[in-house]
């Protein structure tokens, strides 16, 4: 088993600065910081070296906001539940804290993670590979709140709405100001691990992670985990909001017919954390290739490594991980070649259902769901 220490050593302690693909250099004694992709709305990317820690520290967890950060007062804040329910609810933070709490370890990945690697480039935040993090979230099960309200027999979708709002001025535009919202089908909303979380890794929810309450939807891309949650509306017909039709959707083909489908489940994916792209490795030595892998509602079953640009593959060693919805760390000892030159490393994960990371990008996925194998080129010298 890999210890946390061996990972940190390999990721940070080196005499030469690690040069990150996005141009951020990390010296051994320099504290890790998030990469600011935008100040407003706040967009912060986790540095790749930080992904080596099983649980991402709160101050390194990536942040993806669409609108200015709402500043809510925890004392006056209320969660309203309405729609296809027996009784409407209005809950305070204390009401929620008095309910049975649950803590789960969850890997969240933004559906646009790794977008900067796409060629030709596509629109959206140009994330490197660090729009993914893992944290321990504490809160109440969404279904416990829904059961308090009493779901009616005709309930179809559970719409989660945040307090943040704004106008989208790029195409496709919104008809004025809208709030960030998304829905879950009842079947997903019933899963015990779908949380309304008020704590993040033993601290109060930080403002940019949704204070005072956010949803955590395990296995689904990050856009479903609604922050600054203020309203839950149970609908009696399929919800078709902006952020699951005009945005955060992909094309799908069913018997040759193209449909537009909301993004939901994360696809199986692995990332190489070390060595870093363009990093130099010594010839004829043992180098530990390390990384993480995660899958959506399934589990990671296998990670394979190629050190010859995808011609041959060997099984990596997999850590147990903190549960189905948390990433698993892996490593592989690589005997580097004797001759100097460039080497292309690849990692390829398989989930418990047998889905393997594809080698090629599928353009039906528009600017989202980027899980094809991402090569890392290093220099043996
Ligand atoms: N209310 C609200 N919830 C939101 C968002 C947002 O902009 N507003 N962004 C979503 C997206 S796209 C992602 S990837 C995750 C990111 O969660 P984090 O910032 O805590 O990492 O929050 C989701 N929840
Ligand atoms: Mo996202």
**How far is 233 from 183, CA to CA, in rounded Å?**
9
CB 122 within 8 A of CB 366: yes
pLDDT on residue 298: 95
Count the Cβ atoms, other than its own, within 10 Å of residue 379.
14
pLDDT on residue 97: 98
**How far is 174 from 172, CA to CA, in rounded Å?**
7
C-beta 225 within 6 A of ligand 1: yes
**How far is 283 from 367, CA to CA, in rounded Å?**
38
**How far is 381 from 368, CA to CA, in rounded Å?**
36
C-beta 12 within 6 A of ligand 1: no
Cα 226 to ligand 1 centre (Å):
6
Closest-lying ligand 1 atom to the alpha carbon of residue 229:
1
C-beta 54 within 6 A of ligand 1: no
The alpha helices in the chain, defined as continuous H runs, are 4-12, 93-97, 142-149, 186-189
* pLDDT average per 10 residues of sequence, the chain (381 residues): 37 36 48 95 97 97 98 98 98 98 98 96 96 98 98 98 96 95 98 98 97 98 98 98 97 94 98 95 96 96 97 97 94 97 98 98 96 97 94
Cα 14 to ligand 2 centre (Å):
33
pTM of the model: 0.92
**How far is 53 from 62, CA to CA, in rounded Å?**
14
pLDDT on residue 31: 81
pLDDT on residue 17: 37
Q: Which domains does the chain have, with CATH numbers?
A: 4-31+267-380 (2.60.40.650), 59-262 (3.90.420.10)
What digits encode the pLDDT tens for the residues 323-377?
A: 899 999 999 999 999 999 999 999 999 999 999 999 999 999 999 999 999 999 9
Cα 65 to ligand 1 centre (Å):
5
**How far is 318 from 302, CA to CA, in rounded Å?**
7
Cα 123 to ligand 1 centre (Å):
18
CB 56 within 8 A of CB 134: yes
pLDDT on residue 28: 54
**How far is 184 from 182, CA to CA, in rounded Å?**
7
């Amino acid at each position: 088993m890999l210890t946390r220490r061996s990972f940190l050593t390999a990721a940070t302690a080196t005499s030469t600065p690690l040069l990150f693909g996005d141009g951020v250099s990390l010296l051994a004694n320099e504290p890790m910081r998030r990469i600011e992709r935008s100040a407003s709305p706040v967009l912060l990317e986790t540095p790749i070296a930080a992904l080596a820690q099983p649980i991402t520290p709160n101050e390194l967890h990536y942040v993806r906001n669409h609108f200015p950060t709402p500043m809510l007062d925890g004392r006056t804040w209320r969660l309203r539940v309405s729609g296809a329910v027996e009784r409407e609810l209005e809950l305070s933070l204390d009401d929620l804290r008095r309910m049975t709490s649950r803590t789960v370890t969850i890997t969240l990945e933004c559906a646009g993670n790794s977008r900067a690697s796409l060629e030709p480039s596509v629109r959206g935040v140009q994330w490197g590979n660090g729009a993914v993090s893992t944290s321990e979230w504490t809160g109440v099960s969404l279904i416990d709140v829904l059961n308090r309200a009493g779901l009616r027999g005709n309930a179809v979708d559970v719409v989660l709405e945040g307090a943040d709002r704004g106008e989208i001025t790029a195409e496709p535009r919104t008809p004025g100001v809208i709030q960030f919202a998304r829905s879950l089908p009842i079947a997903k909303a019933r899963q015990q691990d779908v949380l309304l979380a008020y704590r993040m890794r033993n601290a109060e929810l930080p403002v940019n992670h949704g204070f005072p309450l956010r949803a955590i939807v395990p296995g689904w891309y990050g856009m479903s985990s609604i922050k600054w949650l203020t309203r839950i509306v149970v609908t009696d017909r399929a919800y078709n909001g902006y952020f699951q039709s005009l945005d955060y959707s992909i094309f799908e083909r069913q018997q040759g017919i193209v449909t537009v489908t909301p993004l939901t489940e994360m696809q199986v994916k692995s990332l190489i954390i070390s060595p870093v792209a363009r990093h130099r490795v010594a010839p004829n030595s043992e180098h530990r290739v390390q990384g993480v892998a995660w899958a959506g509602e399934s589990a990671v079953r296998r990670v394979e490594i190629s050190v010859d640009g995808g011609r041959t593959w060997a099984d990596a060693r997999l850590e147990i991980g903190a549960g189905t919805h948390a990433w698993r760390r892996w490593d592989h000892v690589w005997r580097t070649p004797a001759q100097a030159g460039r080497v292309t490393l690849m990692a390829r994960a398989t989930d418990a259902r047998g889905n393997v990371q594809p080698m090629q990008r599928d353009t039906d996925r528009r600017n989202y769901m980027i899980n094809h194998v991402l090569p890392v080129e290093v220099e043996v010298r």
